[in-house]
Amino acid sequence: MTSYLTQPEDSTICGPVAIINVGRWSKHPVKKSLKDICEEVQCDSGGTPIRHIDKSLRKEFKKKLKVIKKRYCSVNEAKKHLEKGNALLLSFLFKNNEEEKDVSEHICLFTKVKDKKWYVKF
């Protein structure tokens, strides 16, 4: 069984963790360290710019995986993608409280959907 990397609580390294987990899921392990990936994608206390994650995925898995970037994917489209045996790296925003400007973003790897349950690898 594949072991996945988990994001330490209160950290902002979900992007680099997701990149490593894509490699583990696909059986194409990333050869760089977590620290090196954090530097490559410019991860800091504010998180990781999504454009750097996309660029790193395409570079790291060139000729190994097909990386598709889709904005505004519906839940139904995502479910069908997973049911075909694919994985889904999902970036989403959420409110921390009622203040409109207090918004956070997270990215994680979904690997399958079964019996109406979505399996996520943080």
User: At 20, which CATH number?
Assistant: 3.90.70
Residue 53: domain span? 14-121
Looking at residue 16, what is its pLDDT? 94
Does some domain include residue 1? Answer: no
> How many H-runs (helices) and E-runs (strands) does the chain carry?
4, 3
Say how far apart CA 109 and CA 122 lie, in whole Å. 6
pLDDT at 100: 66
Task: Say whether pLDDT at 122 is over 70.
Answer: no
Residue 77 lies in a domain: yes
pLDDT tens sequence across 13-34 = 999 999 999 999 999 999 999 9
CA dist 71 and 37 (Å) reads 24
Tell me if 61 sits within 8 A of 26, measured CB to CB.
yes
Instruction: Count structural domains, the chain.
Output: 1
In a domain, 2, yes or no: no
**pLDDT for 109 beyond 60:** yes
32-72 residue pLDDT tens? 999 999 999 999 988 898 899 999 999 999 999 988 888 88
Please give the residue that has the higher pLDDT: either 19 or 116. 19
